[in-house]
Chains A and B, each alone.
Chain A
Amino acid sequence: MKKTMLNIARRTPLFPYLRAYYTLYLKQGLGPSLKTRIIGSHRKDILERRVHQLEKVCRNSRIHFNPGERFFYSIDTRIHVMETPGYRRLGNLTPDYGFLLERGLEGIGDMIDRAHDGDYTGVLRRSLRAVRLYLDRCREHSPEIAEKLGRVPLRPAETLEEALQSILFMNSLLWMYGHPLIGLGRLDSILEDYHEDPEESRELIRDFILSISSYYEFKSNVLPGDTGQVIVLGGDCNDLTGIFLEVMGELRLPDPKVVLRVNSKTPDEIWELSYRCLREGLGYPLFSNDDVMVDALSRYYSRSDALNYGTSACWEPLIPGRSSDQNNLANLNLLEPLEKALHGFRGEFDELLEGYRQELHRYIDEVIDNVESVRDEPSPLLSLLFPDCISNSRDIALGGAAYSINGVLTVGMGNLVNSLLNIRRLCYDEKIMDIGEVEDVLREDFRSAEPLRVSLEVMGPMYGMDEDDVVELTNTIIQMLDEKLEGRYKFGLSSPGYITVGESTGASFDGRRSGDPLGVHISPIRFTEGMSYTEVLNFAAALDYRKAFNGGVVDIMVDRPFLDRAGDEFIELIRTGLRRGVMQLQVNVVDPEILLRARDNPELYPDLIVRVWGFSAYFRDLPEEYRDLLVRRALEYSGHGGYSG
């Protein structure tokens, strides 16, 4: 009955709209306001359709301006551009804002005219016309807006204020056109030439950040705060690097977030400003190690592009304005092949590893097939901000960008490594258990083996310790991944899926019960008594990032009182860890007591910010399982550094 209804519904011309409402309903947890305007199009040709949708957005979106604000930044949050079935909307990338500032829309138009005349040139021309139409509408809306949009984004920016306004204008359109998780790029280097007076720049950047942080809920993807608005700073630092960090430390907002590219030349002052942000509990900057990253990226990108890397919404590297890379196409759950490999297995440890390798490769094929059955949805608007798309006269989704090297994530590496270490220790070295029993114990979710489960969690060398054994085994798994993925997909060692993927993953031999969270990125599964930060960093520094560079974040928690005592030593810890070869690092500074109290009464701590995978968010907004995991981890880490003597 239900099916027939659905079939009838499917035949009505309204069906796509109904479905769009329905997806919105699921996504937002409550019905989209009836005022939500779904932008569809009946054009058959996909490019036609997409231009048509853009035209509708530009024609119809409502314009707001709050008098008194320095920048004009208007997003009509009630607009929803319908997804094309069978396609994946591009997001999680960064356009070339520098290109926009240098040329202005007029200059971009000239470039389109000069590019060889393909079919796509017409599409670009029409898109540009649509954007200009929206610009005219804004200007006509009020004289204040007209004044703010005096020369930009039509002409090249000449002042910092113009540059920021220009970025905001195009950024707002990208959001309305439905691209999620749009990054901001290397703003300190893009804006460097427009910076003159430090005081003035500070004020401008402050107001810019306030604008970009608005529409917080609308921009959030899976969880509140997950907006993908990443500002990449550093690499070569300049005055603006410090100004951005300073302003963001003062504003104390969870969004936008900062990825700081560090290397041996990063000045002390920048480290100190970063420390101040961290101490505020903002969870950023996330440190990304240029020396490791650039080297790894050079395997896939030209050296000069690698040097200019930015990141997608969390931290996975890409080249802003040059790559359409979709870095987070799938989560490889590394425990899944182990379950298969253990099934009915009797044999030596080496054979188990080999069995794992085969299962892993089979599993990767499956996941990749799945991923490849969906195509990227064209976007003439994004293409306007990717110079290669213009000169190639080709849409970003159809190979217009210089690179489209997609990536996958892995989750559960720590659980896998600990499982293997435990199996080796108990079944082969100490011979306390038969390998056949492992499967049974896991299948019944440790129900009659609680002591074993507990001991698996705390005994023996573990993922995150700087023991040769542990490092070697982890690198072996990385090697297995690379054998299969090399040249086709980037892969990394961190993923936002530790809770969601964990929910559907059976018990594992690291002592994890069925459904419990998986390990958080490159961090010990449990920061047990006696573990230390240097140990974790040394472990992480020894991993093979030349292969696994699509995100590799060490995520540590630090108890704020301890941080205050450690002070300079803490900066040295981070610096040295990175110098030794840690690729990426993020630090969640929390006061465990406050966190405990906030878990029970989140409303008492409305401003409490925490770091969740690649973004910072208000603690009160998080679902319970995220809060619980944060509290558990915070308590584990807070044991560290107790005085004895």
Chain B
Amino acid sequence: MDELLITGIQRFSVHDGPGIRTTVFLKGCTLRCPWCCNPENIRGEPEVYFKAEKCIGCLECVRRCSFLDKPGDIFRFPEHLECAGSCPSAAMGVYGEVKGADDVAEVILRDLDYYISSGGGVTFSGGEPLLQAEAILKVTSRTGDVHTAVETSLFAPMESVGRLRGEVDLFIVDVKILDEARCREVTGGDLEVFRRNLEGLSDERVLIRFPAVKPYTFNRENIRALIRFLKESGVDYIEVLGIHRLGLEKYRSLNLQMPEFSAPRDDEIKKLKWLLEKESIRMNYLKI
């Protein structure tokens, strides 16, 4: 387990935890949130993509792969990873790369000075990073004192949570839909798993995040449930993410339809803020 399946490493990230951070995107997720900004991180194996807008029409891919008549055909042959990799302009390619923990740690450490001066560090995001908990530990054993955060939905095996407990400085937990049936219907997740895992983090530093998406999470019932949940868990600060339709290009590149949803309007966010403040919960709105 010295290797990670990642889709990218983003340096100078500024909204995945405190300070200047490096975010490692791990591939593979247990949920299927319709508003997901990272559809390329959902499946647990490498997969081909095709970005039509970058294609220069050189047909290098067609020459290389006898199954293709045109670049768009690649979606019918998802196992042809190597053919996809032959595109000179990276219009066609593969999401997902297996990288050694050493290599990942080395990239993280390049920005050590920035973490120190800004109070930042590394964030493992995804996908669901908990699915590769073992590999994460391999990386952090090499990055030593670097502040480590994990951005998780907590819909993951309990053992994974157990493995990372005490090893990670901050758990950034997304709270999505708090009604059991709705949660299963929309995201495919079992809310019970989330609850148990969250209990397991009672001694840890946890930051709650709420992706605000209409109609899925940003509706009257769910907000009421959210506030109840926050009060019960004694949370006094959350980050609210306004999810815009940034993932559109990525959906297209995977030949997927992006589901319909929208971000709340500013006045709706203000109202949420007011509701939270009534319960003495502070919130920070990140528009992305």
Task: Find A565's partner among B111, B120, B246, B286 (CB 8 Å cutoff).
Answer: B286
Asked if B8 is at the interface of the complex by the 8 Å CB criterion, the answer is yes
| Given contacts A534-B11, A534-B111, A644 and B37 within 8 Å (CB-CB) | yes
CB neighbours of B90 from chain A (8 A): 458-459, 529
Asked if B45 is at the interface of the complex by the 8 Å CB criterion, the answer is no
By the criterion CB–CB under 8 Å, are A458 and B89 in contact? yes
By the criterion CB–CB under 8 Å, are B288 and A643 in contact? yes
CB neighbours of B41 from chain A (8 A): 644
Task: Find B88's partner among A455, A529, A569, A644 (CB 8 Å cutoff).
Answer: A455
By the criterion CB–CB under 8 Å, are A576 and B288 in contact? no
CB neighbours of A534 from chain B (8 A): 11-12, 20, 110-111, 114
CB neighbours of A645 from chain B (8 A): 16, 23, 37-38, 125-126, 151, 174
CB neighbours of B88 from chain A (8 A): 451-452, 454-455, 459
CB neighbours of B23 from chain A (8 A): 644-645
CB neighbours of B14 from chain A (8 A): 565-566, 569-570, 641
Interfacial residues of chain B within 85-112, with CB under 8 A of chain A in the complex: 88-90, 110-111
CB neighbours of A466 from chain B (8 A): 110
The distance in angstroms between the C-alpha atoms of A381 and B125, with both chains bound, is 65
Interfacial residues of chain A within 484-540, with CB under 8 A of chain B in the complex: 529-530, 532-535, 538
By the criterion CB–CB under 8 Å, are B12 and A572 in contact? no
Interfacial residues of chain B within 1-55, with CB under 8 A of chain A in the complex: 8-16, 19-20, 23, 25, 37-38, 41
CB neighbours of B286 from chain A (8 A): 565, 643
By the criterion CB–CB under 8 Å, are A572 and B114 in contact? yes
By the criterion CB–CB under 8 Å, are A572 and B20 in contact? yes
Q: Which residue from chain B places its CB closest to the CB of A533 in the assembled complex?
A: B12
Interfacial residues of chain A within 446-466, with CB under 8 A of chain B in the complex: 450-452, 454-455, 458-459, 466
By the criterion CB–CB under 8 Å, are A641 and B12 in contact? yes
* Mask of A567-579 contacts with B, CB within 8 angstroms, 1/0: 0111011011001
Asked if A642 is at the interface of the complex by the 8 Å CB criterion, the answer is yes
CB neighbours of A572 from chain B (8 A): 19-20, 114, 117-118
The distance in angstroms between the C-alpha atoms of A512 and B38, with both chains bound, is 33
Task: Find A450's partner among B19, B25, B58, B111 (CB 8 Å cutoff).
Answer: B58
Q: What is the interface of chain A mostly: helix, strand, loop, or mixed?
A: helix
CB neighbours of A580 from chain B (8 A): 113
CB neighbours of B126 from chain A (8 A): 645
Asked if B241 is at the interface of the complex by the 8 Å CB criterion, the answer is yes
Asked if B60 is at the interface of the complex by the 8 Å CB criterion, the answer is yes
CB neighbours of A569 from chain B (8 A): 12, 14, 19-20, 118, 120
Asked if B256 is at the interface of the complex by the 8 Å CB criterion, the answer is no
Greatest chain A CB density within 10 A among B13, B126, B287 is at B13
Asked if B181 is at the interface of the complex by the 8 Å CB criterion, the answer is no
Give the size range of A's interface with the partner: 20 to 34
By the criterion CB–CB under 8 Å, are A576 and B25 in contact? no
By the criterion CB–CB under 8 Å, are A532 and B10 in contact? yes
By the criterion CB–CB under 8 Å, are A451 and B12 in contact? no
Asked if B186 is at the interface of the complex by the 8 Å CB criterion, the answer is no
Asked if B56 is at the interface of the complex by the 8 Å CB criterion, the answer is yes
The distance in angstroms between the C-alpha atoms of A512 and B258, with both chains bound, is 36
| Given contacts A534-B111, A576-B117, A644-B10, A454 and B125 within 8 Å (CB-CB) | no
| Given contacts A450-B56, A532-B11, A534-B114, A455 and B89 within 8 Å (CB-CB) | yes
The distance in angstroms between the C-alpha atoms of A452 and B9, with both chains bound, is 26
Task: Find B25's partner among A455, A568, A644 (CB 8 Å cutoff).
Answer: A644
The distance in angstroms between the C-alpha atoms of A532 and B22, with both chains bound, is 10
The distance in angstroms between the C-alpha atoms of A530 and B12, with both chains bound, is 11
* Mask of A387-414 contacts with B, CB within 8 angstroms, 1/0: 0000000000000000000000000000
The distance in angstroms between the C-alpha atoms of A641 and B88, with both chains bound, is 25
By the criterion CB–CB under 8 Å, are A451 and B60 in contact? yes
The distance from the CB of A523 to the nearest CB of chain B, in whole angstroms, is: 15
The distance in angstroms between the C-alpha atoms of A450 and B56, with both chains bound, is 9
By the criterion CB–CB under 8 Å, are A643 and B20 in contact? no
By the criterion CB–CB under 8 Å, are B15 and A643 in contact? yes
CB neighbours of B151 from chain A (8 A): 645
Q: Which residue from chain A places its CB closest to the CB of B118 in the assembled complex?
A: A572
Starting from the known contacts A530-B10, A565-B286, A570-B14, 7 additional A-B residue pairs (CB-CB under 8 Å) come to A530-B8, A532-B11, A534-B114, A569-B12, A572-B20, A575-B117, A641-B13
B: which residues have CB within 8 A of A? Answer: 8-16, 19-20, 23, 25, 37-38, 41, 56, 58, 60, 88-90, 110-111, 113-114, 117-118, 120, 125-126, 151, 174, 241, 246, 286-288
Across the A-B interface, the 3 shortest Cβ-Cβ residue pairs: A455-B88, A532-B11, A643-B288
Name 24 A/B residue pairs within 8 A (Cβ), A-sorted: A450-B56, A454-B56, A454-B89, A455-B89, A458-B89, A458-B90, A459-B88, A466-B110, A534-B12, A565-B286, A565-B288, A569-B19, A569-B20, A569-B118, A572-B117, A572-B118, A573-B12, A573-B114, A575-B117, A576-B114, A640-B12, A641-B13, A643-B246, A644-B125
A: which residues have CB within 8 A of B? Answer: 450-452, 454-455, 458-459, 466, 529-530, 532-535, 538, 565-566, 568-570, 572-573, 575-576, 579-580, 640-645
